[in-house]
């Protein structure tokens, strides 16, 4: 079974969703060669590296450029420790909010689809998996 590279979890009572993008491939442009580790502590070393910080900055800038058109805003964007079947990987984690949606209601289906498309675009653009 292959690693889950994208996980999107919409919130039930607010127009937000969390998105986790696991890095399953080496990213030599960011000096991220060993992306599979056996403990979360080993991923901590990756998350504080200059290469990973550069990746976070580049990915956030790419996402920010696409958000106004998508009707979404960034609530949080950071690095993450992603786990799947006992293997740990670095990843990107974000929370996105649907602009102008009533508070206390779930995110619309259209916004969830836009988030899915944006996540796939980031995954492909940066070669995350």
Instruction: Please indicate, yes or no, if residue 26 is contained in any of the structural domains.
Output: yes
Q: 19 has which bridge partners?
A: 8, 94
pLDDT of residue 34: 86
Domain span at residue 47?
6-126
Q: Determine the average pLDDT of the residues in 18-43.
A: 94
The sign of the CA dihedral 109, 127, 42, 56 is negative
pLDDT of residue 30: 96
Q: Determine the average pLDDT of the residues in 11-19.
A: 95
Residue 1: pLDDT band (50, 70, 90) is: very low
Task: With CA atoms as reference, report the closest residue to 73 among 114, 120, 104.
Answer: 114
Instruction: Please indicate, yes or no, if residue 1 is contained in any of the structural domains.
Output: no
Tokens for 10?
């919409």
Enter the pTM of the model: 0.90
Q: Determine the average pLDDT of the residues in 97-116.
A: 93
Report whether pLDDT(69) > 50. yes
Q: Number of folded domains in the chain?
A: 1
Residue 5: pLDDT band (50, 70, 90) is: confident
Q: Determine the average pLDDT of the residues in 67-88.
A: 92
The per-residue pLDDT for range 108-119, each reduced to its tens digit, is 999 999 999 999
Q: Determine the average pLDDT of the residues in 37-65.
A: 95
- Strand bridging mode 72-84 / 6-10: unpaired
The CATH number of whichever domain residue 109 belongs to comes to: 3.30.70
pLDDT of residue 4: 64
pLDDT of residue 29: 95
């Amino acid at each position: 079974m292959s690693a889950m590279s994208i996980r999107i979890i919409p919130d039930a009572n607010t127009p937000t969703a969390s998105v986790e993008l696991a890095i399953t491939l080496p990213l030599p442009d960011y000096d991220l060669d060993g992306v599979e580790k056996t403990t979360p502590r080993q991923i901590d070393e990756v998350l504080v590296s200059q290469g990973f910080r550069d990746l976070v900055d580049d990915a956030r800038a790419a996402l920010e450029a696409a958000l106004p058109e998508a009707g979404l805003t960034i609530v949080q964007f950071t690095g993450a420790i992603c786990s799947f079947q006992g293997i740990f990987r670095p990843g990107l984690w974000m929370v996105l909010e649907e602009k102008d949606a009533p508070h206390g209601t779930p995110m619309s289906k259209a916004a969830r689809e836009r988030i899915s498309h944006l996540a796939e675009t980031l995954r492909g653009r940066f070669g995350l998996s």
